[in-house]
Structure 1
Amino acid sequence: MKQILTALAFFFSLTAFAQMGEKNFIDKNYIEVTGKAEMEFTPDKIFIQVLLTEKDSKNKNAILEQEKQMLQKLQSLGIDIKKDVMIKDLASNLKTGFLSKDVLLSKQYQVIVHDGKTAGQVFLALEEIGISNASIEKLESSKIEEYRQQVKIKAIKAAKDKAALLCESIGQKAGKALYIQEQQIFERPYAMANVMMKQADAVGGAADLNFENLKVEATVMCRFEIL
């Protein structure tokens, strides 16, 4: 019985201490503001998906010939075919018909380039050798983690500036931060509607792909003490 009473006394002591700490926090004069920031950046990793297909019954070497020509073209554009060209999928499907039975073979590649001009050159090169099944798979940035951190810092600074401005308008000052909460981090992916190919000038003789910039946004809620 004595042990139970001791435990209850300890529990109520902790509860009273927690309530006192909460009351002390609530009793502080503070201002609550939300800071927002965004950053746009150009993608430096462009993933191109290329699909090669053949009918096995007609030409058993079609994919091999396309693959050889494709790799030669990509290498001539300065693309590291060992590092930036990879096979994503290899499949075969049996197609039967009234008069024929064909095995359809397909081979899917992923090609990575680092700027819109090279991407445009890849599409033109593929077209020249009769490969039309190619598309932009996704866009990325190698510095995305750095951009995320930078935009969070900008959002916190924006919140502090807002608090200082509001407090100054009533003749007071914003003090130290009492509470900081990251509310949202949003990244805008690329939009295919904003990907367009245009013919470059006669000097370049190649297409150039213009991509909409990627964007990262951050929202942070902060409470600052009012002095």
Structure 2
Amino acid sequence: MKKGMLLSALLAGAVALESVAQVKYIEQLPQRKIEVTGTAEMEVVPDELYFNISLREYYGDEKNQKDKVLISTLEKQLVKAVAEAGLPEKSLSISGVGGYQNYVDKKKKPASFLENKQYELKVNSPEKLDIILSKIDSRGVQYANIGRVDHSKKEEFKKQVKSDALKAAKSKAEYLLASIDEKLGKILEIRELDESINYPQPMFAKANVRAFAEAADAVTESDVQYQKIKITYRMQAAFEIK
């Protein structure tokens, strides 16, 4: 009696173990899936232009080293011009302070020290810079050139390009599977591969914004051609094959 019960128990256990083994075997079968990469890009015209402006002290009477125009006077002109152009105060910031020796005789001995100051000005168009510089003493402007460009909605654009790249990956997986009579299943994995944001420098077709010759007293018309900012993303996705 006891031997029969023991034999039955052993047989039941063996069947159970066999069933578990089968389940494990099935679970370990390789999953049918497809992995693809999608790419998307967007080009946008920059709406944030960052100009470098340098002001420097000078003498009204250069020959006799008289009537010095101070950097503080030139800075007040710049700050006032920025405000009159309708730009917020934070659009203008100081990026550097320096100076140089002014030489007047043939022996190249320095007669005085003249201070200069550099600023970064954020505008949305080069025309704004023209208006601002036209209100500053031209002899006090050492140079004005563009330093960099950007876009105020860059983060939104990045999200859109990522989404488009993922959609491109899904579309690729769908048509590849359709070519072999298979269907796309659920998403299994998403990986962000590359981010590329290209900030091209502007190309000046004419003279740079302002003529800085000593006799210049008016702003030259700027003709600036901007390349677009290019945002590119690559996304990798794995999908189940039904």
Could you tell me the TM-score, scaled by structure 1's length? 0.73
Please provide the CA RMSD for this pair.
3.1
Question: Residue in 2 aligned with 1:153?
Answer: 163
Select 1:213's aligned residue among 212, 228, 231: 228
The residue number in structure 1 matching 2:39 is: 36
User: What residue number does 1:165 align with?
Assistant: 175
Superimposed CA distance per residue, residues 124-162 of structure 1 (whole angstroms, 9 cap, x where no aligned partner): x27873425011011111211111111111100000000
Contact 2:50 2:147 (8 Å CA) reproduced: yes
Deviation for aligned residue 1:172: 0.8
Alignment equivalent of 1:27, drawn from 11, 18, 30: 30
Distance 2:195 2:122 in 1: 27
Cα drift, residue 218 of structure 1: 0.1
Q: Which residue matches 2:72?
A: 64
CA distance in 1: counterparts of 2:191 and 2:204, whole angstroms:
36
Q: Secondary structure at the match of 1:136?
A: strand
Matched residues in 2 for 1:35 and 1:79: separation? 41
Task: Return 5+ residue gaps in structure 1 as ranges.
Answer: 1-19, 199-204
| Gap regions ≥5 residues in structure 2 | 1-23, 60-64, 208-219
Q: Which secondary structure state, in structure 2, belongs to the residue aligned with residue 79 of structure 1?
A: coil
Distance 1:93 1:100, change over 3 A: closer
Aligned mates of 1:132, 1:173 — CA distance in 2: 66
Q: Is residue 2:241 matched to residue 1:226?
A: yes
What does 1:44-59 correspond to in 2, within 5 Å?
Answer: 44-54=47-57
Q: Distance in 2 between matches of 1:98 and 1:128?
A: 27
Q: Percent identity?
A: 29
**Change in 2 beyond 3 A, CA 1:99/1:84:** same
TM-score using structure 2 length: 0.69
TM-aligned CA distance change 1:195 to 1:32, over 3 Å: farther
Change (3 A) 1:128 1:58: closer
Call closer, same or farther: CA 1:116–1:225 in 2, change over 3 Å: farther
